[in-house]
Each structure stands twice: as structure tokens, then as C-alpha cells.
Amino acid sequence: MADIVDRSTRSRMMSGIRGKDTRPELLLRRELHSRGFRYRLHAKHLPGRPDLILSKYNAVIFVHGCFWHRHSGCRYTTTPATRVQFWQAKFEANVARDLDVQQALASSGWRIAIIWECALRRSNQIESTGRQISTWLESDADTLEIGALDLIKTNE
């Protein structure tokens, strides 16, 4: 199937995809701030430049896009129909890089949370995600991963 837009339009559209200050990230930052948490953003000295750094809790939070970071089992994890090999290689490299970053942070003693964008689509999901992060930060758990399906399971 051919692309529905020309090359220059597709290039412009793709260049508009942000790496930081995305809508899901801003929603999570607002929620955590309202709960009294203070954080740093995108610290260059840490592997992977985490989206949020909560030094007081020795924790970092990544807000991952389901499409780009391949959220397993998520409906937003699709693969474009054109140039499938290119996209597969790109996605595999993203996932491998994410694992390397997480291992480097964990070996440095950081606690890691992965929040998937699908968990931040509705206001009730944002509140639930904020509650779970709050609980995690106050606990001794090393990792946390929250997706939309995780929210459904905890609210049942």
C-alpha cells in the first residue's frame, strides 16, 4: 500500500514528532506535581535522559510511546504497511536501546518506572497512574510498569 501523502509532507510530519515535552509526559508531570512531587527533567548526565528524575526517591520515570517503544499487547503498537523491514529494524533498535538504558540505570542504583502513553489517555487513567506512582515511590520496589491494561486490572 502506498503512502497517502507525498515524501516532503511525510518528512515534515515525522520531523514534528517530539522526543520530550509530549502530551502524555506533560499530563503525568502535572499529575505528579499536584500530588506534591518535585522532579528534574531530561538530565543529560543519566543514561537515556529519563523524562522525570526524582532524586529524593532515587527514581527515574520514562513516559514511553506505545508505537515507538513497542508496548507488548497494546492496540497502539502497530507496524506501518510500507517499508516493513525498515520499521522492524528501527523498532528492534529502540527496544534494545531501552533495555540497555534500563540496565545501566539499575546498575547505578536507580529505581525505574515505565509509564506507557496508553495509561495516560483519560483523566481517570491519569489519576490512577498518579496514585500507583505515588505508592511505588514510597515503597522499596525497584521497578514499575504501567499500561492501560494494568490500570484495568487494578481497578477491578
Q: Is 64 helix (H, G, I), strand (E, B) or coil?
A: strand
- Residue-wise pLDDT for 82-137, tens only, equals 889 999 999 999 999 999 999 999 999 999 999 999 999 998 999 999 999 999 99
- Residue-wise pLDDT for 33-66, tens only, equals 999 999 999 999 999 999 999 999 999 999 999 9
Cell numbers for 27:
499530563
- Contact yes or no for 58/110 (Cβ under 8 A): yes
Owner of C-alpha cell 520496589: 141
d(CA 118, CA 107): 28
Distances (CA, A) of 129 to 73, 81, 142: 19, 32, 17
Cell numbers for 97:
536501546
Domains, the chain, in order of start with CATH, read 18-155 (3.40.960.10)
pTM for this model (two decimals):
0.86
Q: What percent of the chain has pLDDT over 70?
A: 92
**AA letter at 62:** F
Cell numbers for 151:
490500570
- Sequential DSSP letters for 113-133: EEEEGGGGSSHHHHHHHHHHH
Cell numbers for 82:
510500507
For residue 12, name the pLDDT band (cuts at 50, 70, 90).
confident
